[in-house]
Amino acid sequence: MSTKTATKATPKTKKKGKAGKVIGCILGVIVLFVAVTALVSVIGNSANMKKVLSFPKVEYENQLVPEKDAHGNYTFVTDADLKVLQLTDVHIGGGWMSLKKDAMALNAVASMVTAEKPDLVIVTGDVGYPVPFQAGTFNNKASAKLFAALMDQLGVYWTLGFGNHDTELYSYFSREKMAAFYGGGDYKYCLFQSGPDEIDGFGNQIVVVKNTQGAATQLLYVIDSHSYTGGDFLGILWKYDNIHQNQIDWYADTLKTYQKENDLLYYAGLGSD
């Protein structure tokens, strides 16, 4: 004859069971929230991309087309003025919380560029704003794709320098990866170059303006001023970095190079006074 011993749940076991169910419910809610917001972001960004691709191209009478010079720098050739439109802090969030503001920002950029018809657009920081509590995402490439597609759709040449929000520490993509994205050749009108490996930062670049005799009349420098410093990795203390000495040396050296080339042209009687 066998006997069965009944196991009675103790108060401690019951509490553990209830705690496990509560934790399971909380985790379930979090997973559902993340899934829903991610889906909303995808749908919203797709709608904004559709809007971007609906803008007409900017109409130019005679658009200047840059080519790379012997130093590998994009160069515009003109005896007239070069019209440059500077933009900053476009702050495209690219997430579910910023979709409406993103649409407004993209529309504003398209309106300004279309009205001004610049030869070149330079963005001096913060195309993106993937701050999670305001944008609802950590994906800093989502905003970059929207802006790059917009400029290609408008058919206007452009480049940018990075701001702090373009590549926050908590963002998915580093400065190096974002530089590879912009400079990868996927966007016809993007003139971004990552810059020399031997100096600090990404996006140190020169856009050159030359006259029809070949003399450099303007050098437009875009220099990476980096992000945060002094251990302020998240920017909470507002300790911003600046341009480093090797970047200043690069600026001085490249300036001398073009000055020497201009001197040679001048003495040869080919350059301008």
Q: What is the pLDDT of residues 142-156, one digit of tens each?
A: 999 999 999 999 999
**In which band, very low, low, confident or very high, does the pLDDT at 42 lie, cut at 50, 70 and 90?**
very high
- Judged against a pLDDT cut of 60, whether residue 174 lies above it is answered with yes
103 and 63 Cβ atoms separated by less than 8 Å: no
| Predicted pLDDT of residue 28 | 80
| Predicted pLDDT of residue 269 | 81
**Percent of the chain scoring above 70 in pLDDT:** 92
Q: Cβ neighbours of residue 221 under 8 Å, at least 6 residues apart?
A: 205, 206, 251
pTM above 0.85, yes or no: yes
| Predicted pLDDT of residue 94 | 97
Lookup: tokens for 228: 């945060």
Mean pLDDT, range 185-209, rounded to an integer: 98
Q: Cβ neighbours of residue 89 under 8 Å, at least 6 residues apart?
A: 125, 126, 163
Distinct helix (H) and strand (E) counts, the chain: 6, 7
Q: Of 25-39, 65-79, 152-166, 170-184, which gets the smallest average pLDDT?
A: 25-39
CA 60 centroid distance within chain: 26
**Percent of the chain scoring above 90 in pLDDT:** 80
SS3 at position 219: strand
Taking only the tens place, the pLDDT of each residue in 87-127 is 999 999 999 999 999 999 999 999 999 999 999 999 999 99
State the burial class of residue 140 (Cβ atoms within 10 Å of its Cβ: 0-12, 13-18, 19+).
buried
| Predicted pLDDT of residue 76 | 98
96 and 44 Cβ atoms separated by less than 8 Å: yes
Average confidence score pLDDT of the chain? 92
SS3 at position 166: helix
| Predicted pLDDT of residue 11 | 63
